[in-house]
Structure 1
Amino acid sequence: MQAAPGQAGQVPIRRASPPIFQLFLTSCMLVVALLKTSLHQVPEGYVGMYWRGGRLLTRITDPGLHLRLPLTDSYELVQVTMQTDKVTDIPCGTKGGVSIAFEKIEVVNRLSKAHAYDIIKEYGIHYDKTWIYDKIHHEINQFCSFHTLQEVYIDKFDEVDEKIRDALQADITKYARGIEIISVRVTKPRIPEDIMENYVMMEVERTKAMVALERQKVVEREIEVERTRAIAEAERAAQRSRILQA
């Protein structure tokens, strides 16, 4: 039997199948990519909080390695140990109408892990902007508006830390339970240069007056010592005189 024309001597063509190694490598790369986007670490002092499609989940993770759904879940680290928020350049006007500014106020605070979900759901991940940064501005302006420059800068300055802390904590306890204000540190405010010069002069004069007063006290003590000594000498002389006359 003769072969059909054009088919003599031809080798059958086979389709090449994908190499098994290439499929394995592709699968490994896909698994690594998924793990890279889903595996994450929560460090000490923080908890992990998760959102799915924009909705905050009740899931809260402790420090360690954790997994999340790579395409639908996002997460944020929330600090639950002591942290210090610094609020800078806070302008305010005193009762007498003088404009001053506090260069820096430090607020040491802590978020309770037990209340983290409620706080973050209500006020967002930047809850401290509402309850610390913005609130500090309000409380400082309240304090300044009720006091004179003399009171703010000198007479009542040592009370500012405690007053601001108590005011912050009172509102937080009422509306955002779970944030603890541990301490507040307030730096001396900037005041107009001409007024500052007057305060410097007053401080110099006050120092001179204190030095003069201390000198006067020393002189008075020396006079008292001399007077006591003279009285003692007179008494001894009188005793000797009585002995000689006896």
Structure 2
Amino acid sequence: MIIRLFSLLQGLEQAPDDIDKRMKDALQSDCTRYAPGIEIICVRVAKSTILEIIRQRYEQIKEERTKALIAIEKQRVAEKEPETLKKIVIFDAEKKSFVSKIIMEQKLKEKESARRPHQIDNEMNFSWLIKEAEANKLKLTPQYLEFGFIEGTTNKTKIYFGKR
């Protein structure tokens, strides 16, 4: 019965207006069950007065508890702050690395595209030189060499007309 009254009194914060009725009903149901014939007519619970010293002490304890909770939260925040800063620094470094990688790839592609026309020109010139070398190789016949000799000597020969 005491446990039941205690659980009834714990609900006072929720509905203090009907405490008298709730107390009477709880007592009557227990009396009906355990002591038949007893009838509860009326119950009146007077509001208790708390001494000012006890109230102040209670408020002081409550305030200290709140301050302790605030200190604990500040400590948690202080512990998490370096971790958060570390994550921010890592994120920034990864972002810079990623941007740098993209810029380097872009520069590489630009150089590759600038090098490509020169490479094509070189390949064309090389191809032309190879064909010219093959053509010159085909020219190296005894008849062509004799023709070159005759042509060379006629170009250097000077013919004078007149008295001298």
Task: Name the TM-score, length of structure 2 as normaliser.
Answer: 0.34
Higher strand content, 1 or 2: 1
Scaled by the length of structure 1, the TM-score of the pair is 0.25
Larger radius of gyration: 2
